[in-house]
Amino acid sequence: MYYLVGFNPKPEAKRRQIVEAYKNFSKHFEKKLPQFKLMGLYVRNVLLGSKPHYLAIWQLPNFSDLDEWNKVFAIDKKGRELANVLSELATDWEAKVMSKLI
């Protein structure tokens, strides 16, 4: 299964800041929840098509692992701080769980 997280940068956010913040966020949670693997953080280089501007793709074994993520996030002060850094840089968050067909 894949967890896709799309978002757009706030006007004042620089790509370098977003990459660094997401890297810190993902490394932290990959240590806390090793069943989650960041497959990549992607950006639109040519502004064709619709939003989002950034897309993070996480791989997870089971849908129920999202419950574990929520439990850890609820008590993980450092994780919430890292998420707040991202929230200061980005907006229009959208997430979905998808399965690979082919």
Q: What mean pLDDT do residues 6-21 have?
A: 97
Kindly report, residue by residue over 54-71, the tens digit of the pLDDT. 999 999 999 889 999 999
The owner of tokens 């706030």 is 10
Q: Dihedral (C-alpha) 58, 2, 57, 84: value to the nearest 10 degrees?
A: -60
Q: What is the DSSP letter of 50?
A: S
Examine the pLDDT at 50 and tell me if it is beyond 90.
no
Fold of 2-98: Alpha-Beta Plaits (3.30.70)
Q: 40 by DSSP, 3-state: which?
A: strand
The DSSP-derived string for 18-32 is HHHHHHHHHHHHHHH
Q: What does the domain layout of the chain look like in residue ranges?
A: 2-98
d(CA 26, CA 40): 10
Residue 8 has pLDDT above 90, yes or no: yes
